[in-house]
């Protein structure tokens, strides 16, 4: 009996020791945030609907692109992707709301390059979104701007517009590419021009159709339906080359004004999204961009894909910011004075 009893004791001690070690390892895993999963994420992600914020009003390019990519992303995510409009401050309101939310992969936002490249030329925001304070999911789109007048206007070219002497031009808002492109154009032509800002592309189109302004610059996706319907007349595009879908519309550069301004958009999420969750987000958005339905949407709306590594988005936006500052200095444009 003594011999049997003594042989049991070492085995009991080993069992207790193993239990303690396993418990300690699990506790360390929780304390370090790994949770036993890859990168500390949710092994079942996504297990519910995902929210994509369009930081604009309904009807503009940001809204249209958000809805198209959201629809195409539902299959790769395996969940609904719900679009929420949260307009204000050229995307800052919606952007801040999403980027300050929990980094769990359930909230994303489609951000515009102009918010970071052009808005700072208009006003200094001590609480501006920091490009370093977000997770980059992926580039989505590139859009050019088209300068249009009401179809009944006698203006048929940029020269005609310049000859007016004074111009009232509408923009999609302060700190947008719409504002910068036109301000640069009229400053370089030394034309007296007054800026009338609206709260987005849809609102500017309404003003143009109602002849509240002489001219306005919209992203092509916004203006194309009205141009096709014969209600607006395009007189220039602010692209490096002519737009394939509008081959007869000259660039501003062809008409003597070396001004190229475009809008890029990407999807971002709060900083510190777990790596495995972020990879799922990136893979799903990349797959969505290859969806024939999304590709058709881009083609139908004259929008180009922005294929860029997520890690390179920040560098591109910072370069655009420098370019906008250089152009403003070159043409003596002070957007903050408007």
Q: Which of 246, 261, 276 is the last residue of a domain?
A: 261
In a domain, 92, yes or no: yes
Strand-pair partners of 167: 193
d(CA 226, CA 222): 8
d(CA 124, CA 300): 37
Domain that residue 117 falls in: 50-142+263-328
Query: What was the pLDDT predicted at 337?
Result: 62
Residue 279 clears pLDDT 90, i.e. is over it: yes
E strand or H helix at 319:
helix 313-331
* pLDDT per residue as tens digits for the range 316-325: 999 999 999 9
Question: How many domains does the chain contain in total?
Answer: 2
Query: What was the pLDDT predicted at 245?
Result: 81
* pLDDT per residue as tens digits for the range 177-195: 999 999 999 999 999 999 9
d(CA 36, CA 315): 34
pLDDT band at 78 (very low <50, low <70, confident <90, very high): very high
Which residue, 279, 237, 232, is CA-closest to 255?
Answer: 237
Do 159 and 138 lie in one domain? The reply is no
Average pLDDT along the chain: 87
Query: What was the pLDDT predicted at 338?
Result: 52
Query: What was the pLDDT predicted at 88?
Result: 86
* pLDDT per residue as tens digits for the range 199-239: 888 899 999 999 999 999 998 888 989 999 999 999 999 99
- The residue among 4 and 53 whose pLDDT is bigger is 53
CATH of the domain at 273: 3.40.190.150
Task: Enumerate long-range contacts of 160-164, CB under 8 Å, 24 or more apart.
Answer: 160/235, 161/191, 161/214, 161/215, 161/235, 162/189, 162/191, 164/191, 164/214
Do 223 and 238 lie in one domain? The reply is yes
**What mean pLDDT comes out for the span 32-41?**
40
The token duo for 168 is 């009232």
Sign of CA dihedral 224, 227, 231, 236: positive
CATH of the domain at 208: 3.40.190.10
């Amino acid at each position: 009996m003594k011999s049997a009893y003594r042989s049991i004791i070492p085995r009991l001690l080993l069992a207790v020791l193993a239990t303690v070690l396993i418990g300690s390892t699990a506790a360390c895993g929780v304390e370090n945030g790994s949770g036993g999963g890859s990168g500390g994420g949710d092994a079942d992600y996504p297990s519910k609907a995902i929210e994509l914020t369009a930081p604009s009003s309904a009807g503009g390019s940001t809204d249209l692109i958000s809805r198209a990519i959201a629809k195409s992303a539902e299959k790769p995510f395996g969940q609904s992707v719900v679009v929420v409009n949260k307009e204000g401050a050229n995307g800052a309101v919606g952007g801040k709301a999403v980027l300050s939310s929990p980094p769990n992969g359930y909230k994303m936002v489609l951000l515009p390059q102009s918010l970071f490249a052009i808005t700072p030329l208009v006003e200094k925001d001590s609480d501006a979104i920091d490009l370093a304070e977000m997770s980059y999911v992926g580039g989505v789109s590139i859009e050019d701007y088209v300068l249009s007048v009401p179809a009944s206007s006698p203006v048929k070219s940029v020269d005609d517009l310049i000859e007016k002497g004074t111009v009232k031009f509408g923009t999609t808002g302060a700190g947008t590419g719409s504002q910068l492109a036109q301000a640069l154009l009229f400053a370089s032509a030394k034309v007296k021009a007054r800026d009338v800002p609206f709260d987005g592309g849809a609102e500017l189109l309404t003003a143009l159709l109602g002849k509240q302004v002489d001219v306005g610059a919209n992203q092509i996706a916004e203006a194309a339906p009205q141009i096709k319907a014969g209600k607006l007349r395009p007189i220039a595009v602010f692209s490096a080359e002519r737009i394939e879908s509008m081959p007869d519309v000259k660039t501003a550069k062809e008409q003597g004004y070396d001004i190229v301004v475009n809008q890029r958009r990407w999807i971002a999420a709060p900083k510190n999204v777990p790596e495995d969750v972020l990879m799922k987000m990136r893979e799903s958005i990349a797959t969505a961009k290859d969806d024939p339905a999304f590709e058709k949407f881009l083609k139908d709306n004259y929008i180009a894909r922005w294929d860029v590594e997520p890690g390179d988005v920040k560098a591109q936006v910072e370069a655009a910011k420098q370019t906008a500052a250089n152009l403003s200095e070159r043409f003596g444009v002070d957007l903050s004075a408007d």
